[in-house]
Structure 1
Amino acid sequence: MDQNQKTAVLNFLDRLSSLDEKQVEELVNKYLDDEIIEEFVDHIEDFYGIEDDEQLGVLAQIMVTGFIAAKETSSQS
């Protein structure tokens, strides 16, 4: 990872932390629909064997955020 890529990721994280709930939802909807988000949840459940809904939700949020970070920063590198 070069310095430009690191800067892009850090800028994304700064921007993400300044967004309100509606803005985050709009950003998610830019790249994903409910069906694909459910596929993330199913993957986590099947691959990692996690069945707790709260844990699945948190891990899905992390996975979705990583996916969006990759999409948002790939054009900046």
Structure 2
Amino acid sequence: MTRTDIPTQTIECTCKHCAAFAERKGLAFPLRAEVNEKMAGAIATNARGRHSLVQKAHQPPFGRMDDMQAKFGPWVA
């Protein structure tokens, strides 16, 4: 269920790690994530914060690793 009463903002990450992940998974680059405005204001003020939020949005559900992560470990920040 998606809540519509919380204002959200789209953030994107264009770092080399996200580029490699997007290429490996066949996703559109730059990777984007929808976060609420308070979270964006607090964390997404710099590149590392934006990467962290985008990475969390694109990780497999319930902490499962994809094939590449299972072989080489989780992708790094």
Structures share a fold, TM > 0.5? no
- Whose Rg is larger? 1
Q: Structure with the greater relative contact order (CA < 8 A, sep ≥ 6): 1 or 2?
A: 1
More helix by share: 1
Under a length normalisation based on structure 1, what TM-score does the superposition of the two structures give? Answer: 0.34
